[in-house]
Amino acid sequence: MAGSENINHASIADHELWIAFKQGDTEAFSEMYQRYAGTLYNYGYHLVPDTALVQDAMQDLFADLWRTRHNLSDTSSIKYYLFRSLRRRLHRMADIKPVLPSTPLQTESIEELKIKTEEYLLLLQRLQQLMSRLPERQQEVIRLRFYDNFNWEEIAGILQINEQSVRNLVQRAIAKLREGWK
């Protein structure tokens, strides 16, 4: 009960924010940027492990948003809009090749690993390592669904494929994870 109320509040705020921004409210635009810059950067860096490139793409994305704000349609999810735009932009800029980013997992310190001695946590870490070795698209779908909390329809929109293909990608990813389970 409380949970669904919160979600409504958040989406109303998002909607209001978008309308205010379209009317030229700089405070709203700034709030939009602060709210999503971190998560957007994380997503972008997973796609193209190149800090400068991702930061450039984000700057251009926001600058263009401001310039073209009068022509933008309404959206109920700013995050969805931003993810989709950034992905397209990065594709254009980087001509994305399947480069495996070296995830922070491998740089985790020995001390941290020692503290997490417990089996269940070890299992989670093992799974995360397996995830980092999945084909790029499967990784992306898993992250969009479980890390960034997008629903199936939104993921299909971001990747420009249909919903069934999204589900198929997840099914294949899970089959691979289960192979590595033992």
Partner 1 sequence: MDYSAYDTADFVCDDSFVAWVKEGRDGAHWEQVIKQYPDKQEQILQARAIILAAAQLPPFQLKAQDQQQMWDQIRSQMDTTEAAPVKKSRFIYWYWAAAAVCIMAGAALWWMRPEKETAVVYTRLLKEAKLDGNKRIEEINEESTVRTVRLPDGSSVVLEPGARISYPVCATNNCKREVYLSGAAFFEVSRNTQQPFIVYANEMVINVLGTSFHVKAYDKDSLVQVYVKTGKIALSVQPLGSMVISNVSANQQAILQRNTLVVSVQLSEQHHIELQAPEATTYSFVFNDAPVDSVMSTIENAYGVHIAYDKVLLADCRLTASLTDEPLYEKIRLICRALEADCIIKGNDITLSAKGCHRY
Burial class from Cβ neighbours inside 10 Å (0-12, 13-18, 19+) for residue 31 reads middle
x/- letters, 146..175, toward partner 1 (CB under 8 A): xx-x-x---------------x--xx--xx
Alpha carbons 22 and 167: distance in angstroms, whole number: 34
Which residue of 92, 133, 180, 181 would you call a contact of partner 1, by CB under 8 A? 181
One-letter amino acid for residue 182 of the chain: K
**Token digits of residue 42:** 């994380």
The runs of H, that is alpha helices, within 23-71 are 26-47, 51-67
101 φ/ψ sector (left φ>0, alpha ψ -120 to 50, else beta): beta
135 binds partner 1 (CB under 8 A): no
**Token digits of residue 25:** 């409210």
Stretch that binds partner 1, among 7-15, 73-81, 82-90, 91-99 (CB under 8 A): 7-15
* DSSP classification of residue 9: H
Alpha carbons 136 and 118: distance in angstroms, whole number: 29
What residues contact 75, with CB distance under 8 A and at least 6 apart?
18, 81
Name which of residues 21 to 60 contact partner 1 (CB under 8 A): 23-28, 30, 33-34, 37-39, 41-42, 45-46, 55, 58-59
Q: Give the orientation angle of helix 26-47 with respect to helix 51-67, to 10 degrees.
A: 150
Name which of residues 64 to 123 contact partner 1 (CB under 8 A): 66-67, 101, 103-105, 108, 115-121, 123
> Which residue lies nearer to partner 1 by CB, 151 or 160?
151
Which residue of 94, 159, 161, 177 would you call a contact of partner 1, by CB under 8 A? 177
Binding site for partner 1 (CB under 8 A): 2-3, 5, 9, 12-13, 16-17, 19-20, 23-28, 30, 33-34, 37-39, 41-42, 45-46, 55, 58-59, 62-63, 66-67, 101, 103-105, 108, 115-121, 123-125, 127-128, 131, 142-143, 145-147, 149, 151, 167, 170-171, 174-175, 177-178, 181
